[in-house]
Every structure is written in structure tokens, then in C-alpha cells.
């Protein structure tokens, strides 16, 4: 797999927990993974949707993530690189900011059918009747924050890495999930069952009273604070 180091002059951190050294107008490094690299041009402005690659300790952009490229007409062209290239959209900056805001805790809470905190107690593989290759996680629910579940144990599904058939709703989520770990999960219903619909924003690992995004990046709000925010948001929906 091709990996390309991008040196970027930072203009703004639009969302998320960036390293403290990421202060405009500093130079930062992001690593482009896969076939997205030829799309970049020196001097052009981009908005990068990055994820943290734990094993390498680096921020990456590329397959399964999105980016926005600024056009000569001051519009932003959204391009998503995955197994097939999604048709580009042309957006104003206000629309781009709105899209990014949709990944906020408030938006993810509102869009979830089920929100739980619990421990992973089982992991198994399966193939759906529609040929999707899935990993099925069993969770012992320790706190139900939204929605109804039939028992104290629930299951959610994630397509397996490098699966040949992937549901249209799939967004990249952390792959290093182990039995015994505690997770805060934001789930939505599909024909295959519950699934983490908002990518890594759907799965926050619980580490004591802290929450980790992308397995390694501390959330700005701790577990008790985040739970209270979720409860207030859910109560406001009633």
C-alpha cells in the first residue's frame, strides 16, 4: 500500500482533538494512504478528514476518509476515496462546516437509535445472506442512555476489514476491539442489525473516567461529563 507524507501549512483545526503542537500557521505532517495521493497539488487548499493510526502513531487521510479541495470559484469539492470513488460534491464553506458539525456529540446523539455503555463479551465472524462478511460484537450493557434493547446483552455488526462486499451505510470504525474492553456506543438500526453509523464518532473506548477517540486520542470531555451531555440531549428530544 502506498503511503505519502504530506507537509501542510495549518490554517485551522475545525473539529476534534488535535495535538497541542497543531497551532496555525505551523507546519504539520499527515500521511496519505492508498490511491488518494495523486489527487494532491502543492499550493492548493484542502480540508482533511483525518484519523489516528494507532500502530504508527500518525494521523492519516486516504481510503475510507473524506477531503475537500478548494476550487478556483471558492467552492469546496468533496471527494471520498474508498473502494469506488464517490461522485464529487461542490459545497460552500458554510455547508462544509455544517457537515463537520454533524459529527458533534449533539448530532451523533440525536441521530442514534441506541446509545449504550458496556463491555465487549464476545466477538465472532459471520456472513450475511446478502454476502456481507461481518464481525459481530456482543456487548454486556452496563448503562442504557437511549433507545430500548431486548436484554442486557446486545450485538452490533461491523464489516470485516478488506471484505469484498460492504454495506452502503458502512463508515470506518476502530478495528482493534477486544473482549473485556468498555465502550460508549452510538448505534443505528439496519437490516443487518445495530451498527456504528458515524464512523469513529460512534465508538469511544472507555479508559477509566476518560474516553478515547480512534483508540488513542483523549476526548475533551470525560466519561461522566459526556454521559450527562447525552442524557440532557436525549431528554430534550422527548
Q: What domain range includes position 80?
A: 3-101
CATH code where residue 190 lies? 2.40.50.120
CA dist 47 and 77 (Å) reads: 10
CA angle, residues 11, 14, 17, in degrees to nearest 5: 105
Q: Which residues are paired to 43 by β-bridges?
A: none
Give me the pLDDT at residue 84, please: 44
Verdict on whether the full-model pTM lies above 0.75: no
Residues 97 and 133 in one domain: no
Q: Please identify, among 48, 75, 101, the residue that sits at the C-terminal boundary of a domain.
A: 101
Residues 45 and 150 in one domain: no
Q: Please identify, among 101, 123, 154, the residue that sits at the C-terminal boundary of a domain.
A: 101
Q: Please identify, among 74, 101, 128, the residue that sits at the C-terminal boundary of a domain.
A: 101
Per-residue pLDDT tens, the chain, 238 aa: give them.
Answer: 677 888 999 999 887 778 888 999 999 998 887 655 556 788 889 888 887 776 777 888 765 556 788 888 888 887 654 444 455 567 888 888 877 776 788 888 998 999 999 999 999 988 766 556 788 999 999 999 999 887 899 999 887 655 555 555 556 677 789 999 999 999 999 888 899 988 778 899 999 999 887 776 777 788 999 999 999 999 998 7
Q: Which residues are paired to 60 by β-bridges?
A: 31, 51
Residues 70 and 132 in one domain: no
Q: What distances in angstroms separate CA 21 from CA 5, 74, 231, one per listed residue? A: 18, 28, 33
Q: Which residues are paired to 189 by β-bridges?
A: 194
Residues 55 and 114 in one domain: no
Residues 96 and 119 in one domain: no
Total number of domains constituting the chain? 2
Give me the pLDDT at residue 102, please: 67
Residues 76 and 121 in one domain: no
Residues 156 and 57 in one domain: no
Amino acid at each position: 500500500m502506498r503511503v505519502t507524507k504530506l507537509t501542510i501549512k495549518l490554517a485551522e483545526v475545525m473539529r476534534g482533538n488535535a495535538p497541542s503542537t497543531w497551532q496555525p500557521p505551523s507546519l504539520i505532517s499527515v500521511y496519505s494512504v492508498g490511491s488518494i495521493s495523486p489527487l494532491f497539488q502543492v499550493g492548493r487548499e484542502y480540508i482533511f478528514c483525518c484519523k489516528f493510526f494507532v500502530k504508527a502513531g500518525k494521523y492519516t487521510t486516504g481510503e475510507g476518509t473524506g477531503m475537500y479541495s478548494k476550487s478556483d470559484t471558492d467552492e469546496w469539492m468533496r471527494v471520498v476515496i474508498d473502494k469506488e470513488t464517490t461522485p464529487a460534491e461542490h459545497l460552500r464553506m458554510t455547508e462544509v462546516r455544517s457537515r463537520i458539525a454533524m459529527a458533534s456529540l449533539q448530532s451523533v446523539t440525536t441521530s442514534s437509535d441506541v446509545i449504550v455503555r458496556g463491555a465487549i463479551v464476545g466477538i465472532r465472524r459471520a456472513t450475511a445472506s446478502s454476502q456481507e462478511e461481518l464481525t459481530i460484537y456482543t456487548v454486556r450493557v452496563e448503562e442504557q442512555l437511549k433507545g430500548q434493547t431486548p436484554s442486557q446483552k446486545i450485538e452490533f455488526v461491523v464489516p470485516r476489514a478488506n471484505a469484498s462486499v460492504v454495506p452502503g451505510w458502512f463508515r470506518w470504525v476502530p478495528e482493534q476491539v477486544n473482549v473485556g474492553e468498555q465502550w460508549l456506543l452510538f448505534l443505528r438500526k439496519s437490516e443487518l442489525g445495530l451498527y456504528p453509523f458515524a464512523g469513529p464518532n460512534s465508538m469511544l473506548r472507555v479508559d477509566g473516567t476518560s474516553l478515547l477517540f480512534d483508540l488513542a486520542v483523549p476526548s475533551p470531555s470525560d466519561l461522566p461529563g459526556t454521559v450527562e451531555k447525552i442524557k440532557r440531549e436525549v431528554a430534550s428530544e422527548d
